Amino acid sequence: MPDPTRPKGPTIISVANQKGGVGKTTTTINLAAGLVELGFRVLVVDLDPQGNASTGFGVEPSDRTLTTYDLLLGDVDIHETIQTTDIQGLWIVPANVDLSSADLEMVSNEKRSFLLRDALRQRALDAYAIDYVLIDCPPSLSLLTVNAMVASDSVLVPLQSEFFALEGLTQLIITVREVRQTANPHLRISGVVLTMYDKRNNLSKQVEADARENLGDLVFKTVIPRNVRISEAPSYALPVLNYDPTSKGSEAYRALAKELVTKRG
């Protein structure tokens, strides 16, 4: 039963697509920065063993002493795993390669699908007054991704503007439906965002038309363009909004953050 004395918890969003290379981590990083610009306090949970979101916020591998692996399987308080970033109002629980064995280690745990949900319900998180938690999922429909969905209010799906983009989306939607039926009845898809969009390319326009025809209002109005600044920003361990605030990539992620907040409201 909910504790009426506790503050309302944050909105938790999984950023998920089982296909790699769709802009999932890039979207997590820059959407987080966009939400911070709007005045929200954001926690990023890096649930990908590659740890790219952690690298993207400047967390060195040597500084990842306690990670999402420990949060899930190490019985540690969440505040021990949270690290600050160079952006005020934005924190991260980093990941490293230890997480790659988590699926196997969780299988024997009878609460295996609920470990992240329980971790994000710890009272220790209240002190941060977080508004949004963004979970960067691995590029697979693994037990880690299921944990993210069970813990989340919604799933945001980056979809690359390339051939075969819609293939595989069906399986993701089925997984969301299964999680809704078995573990998290409130889970929904907050939206599909088209990434790597090139308006000069007929293929991008065709993918957009197909997505909007098949998915309707689920597709965000905002599209994320192919933009060299978006590609360069991670090498400086910065979101593109901080690396080049006036770039087209920054403008797009600001618009996505505003649209997400409006949709939720």
Residue 265 has pLDDT above 70, yes or no: no
Q: Contact at 8 Å (CB) between 187 and 164?
A: no
How confident is the model over 75-98, as pLDDT tens digits? 899 999 999 999 999 999 999 999
How confident is the model over 208-261, as pLDDT tens digits? 999 999 999 999 999 999 999 999 999 999 999 999 999 999 999 999 999 999
Domains of the chain, earliest start first = 11-264 (3.40.50.300)
pLDDT number for residue 75: 83
Q: Contact at 8 Å (CB) between 150 and 179?
A: yes
What mean pLDDT do residues 39-65 have? 96
pLDDT number for residue 3: 61
Residue 184 has pLDDT above 60, yes or no: yes
> Quick one: pLDDT band at residue 7, thresholds 50, 70, 90?
low
What mean pLDDT do residues 23-47 have? 98
- Please state whether beta strands 11-15 and 188-195 pair in parallel, antiparallel, or not at all (unpaired): unpaired
d(CA 52, CA 178): 28
What mean pLDDT do residues 118-137 have? 96
Residue 92 phi, psi (nearest 5): -145, 140
DSSP calls for 136-195? E--SS-SHHHHHHHHH-SEEEEEEESSTTTTTTHHHHHHHHHHHHHHT-TT-EEEEEEEE
This prediction's pTM: 0.95
Between residues 13 and 169, the one the model is more confident about: 13
pLDDT number for residue 69: 96
Q: Contact at 8 Å (CB) between 135 and 12?
A: yes
What mean pLDDT do residues 119-136 have? 96
What mean pLDDT do residues 60-80 have? 94
